[in-house]
Amino acid sequence: MNPESQNPERQARELLAFYLDAGADALVGEEPVDRMADPPPPERGRPDSAAVQLGGSGQAALTRHAPSLDRRSLPSGGAERGPVGRSEPPPVAEGRLRAPASPETAVMAAREAARNAKTLDELRALLADFEGCALRATATQLVFADGNPHSRVMFVGEAPGYDEDITGRPFVGRSGKLLDLMLAAIGLDRTTAYIANVVPWRPPGNRTPTPQETAICLPFIRRQIELANPDILVCLGGPAMQTLLGTKEGITRSRGRWFPYNTGSREIRALATFHPAFLLRSPLQKRFVWRDFLALKKALAN
Ligand code: URA
C-alpha cells in the first residue's frame, strides 16, 4: 500500500475535490438536516430567527449566509460554465438556510429593490445586500459587471462560472478570454464594452440557474441595462436571449436577428449570438458569430 495514499490530509483534500467535482461546492453546516421533518414551532413571543424576514419595505431576506468553501485551496478548479454539457448537481448548499417565503415574494422584493436603485453603484450595493436569491449564499461573491458602464454596447451572459466567482468579474475564464478575442476582432475591449450576466451569482457546480433564480434576478439585470443605457444589447447564448428578449425560440434560429428591447426608459436594439463557451466546444460555429459581430460593428458605426 502506498503510504502517501494513507495520508489523512491528502485523503481530506481528495474528498473535497471529489465533492467539488460533483457540484457540491459550499459548506452548509456541521450537522445533517432532515428536510422531510416538520419544522419546529417558533419559540413563543419570538420570531423564527432562521426564517425569512420581511422588512418594512417588503424586501425578502435570508437571515443566515452560509460560508462557501474556499475553492482556491482545493486541488482542482471548477469547470468552465457554459450553455451545453452541464450536469445537474445534487440539491446542495442549503444547510439551515431557508428559501425565501416564496419565489413570488422574492421576485416582488427584487422588483422593489431594483426600482429603488438610482445609479449602477446603488444597484450593485442593493444586490450585494439582497438575500432573496439563495445563490448568494453559495457563491463566493457577487459578480456584478465589468467594462465601461458608459459604453454604447452591453453584453449579457447567463451566470458566472468558477473563475468569475473567484474574481468577482464576469467572463474572465476560458469563455471570457474568447469573448475578449471576439471583442478585439471588431475593435472593442473592456474599456469600450460593458459586460454582465442575467444571474450575478455562480450557481453551485456551474449548474443552470433554475427558472425561479432567473426570475428573481431578472428585475436587477433589467434595471442594470436601463441604468447603463446602452444603444445596443448583445445576449450571449440562448438562456440570456430567452430571458431578456422574451422569446422561446432557440439561439440557432434567433442569432443574428435584431430585436427591439425596451429598457424601461427607451427602446434600443438587441442582438443574440452564440455563447463563447458553446464556441469553445463547437469552434465551427464561430463563423456565424463573426457575422453577428460584423453586424454589431456596423450598427455601432451608425
Ligand atoms: N459564462 C457566462 O454566462 N457568464 C460568465 O460570466 C462566464 C461564463
* 18-50 per-position pLDDT tens digit: 666 665 656 555 566 665 676 666 555 443 333
Q: 29 in a domain, yes or no?
A: no
pLDDT in tens, 128-183: 999 999 999 999 999 999 999 999 999 999 999 999 999 999 999 999 999 999 99
Supply 290's cell numbers: 463573426
Q: 230 in a domain, yes or no?
A: yes
> Quick one: pLDDT at residue 8?
81
Span from the CA of 159 to the centroid of ligand 1 (angstroms): 5
Answer yes or no: are the C-beta atoms of 94 and 33 closer than 8 Å: yes
**Boundaries of domain holding 183:** 103-301
Answer yes or no: are the C-beta atoms of 229 and 120 closer than 8 Å: no
Q: 143 in a domain, yes or no?
A: yes
> Quick one: pLDDT at residue 126?
97
pTM, two decimal places: 0.73
CATH classification of the domain holding 113? 3.40.470.10
Span from the CA of 240 to the centroid of ligand 1 (angstroms): 10
Q: 243 in a domain, yes or no?
A: yes
Span from the CA of 221 to the centroid of ligand 1 (angstroms): 14
Q: 30 in a domain, yes or no?
A: no
Q: 172 in a domain, yes or no?
A: yes
Q: 22 in a domain, yes or no?
A: no
Q: Which amino acid is at 291?
A: R
Number of domains in the chain: 1
Q: Which amino acid is at 154?
A: M
| Element holding 232 (H helix, E strand) | strand 232-236
The answer, yes or no, to whether any atom of ligand 1 lies below 6 A from the CB of 81, is yes
Sheet holding 267-273, edge to edge: 146-147, 194-197, 153-157, 232-236, 267-273, 258-262
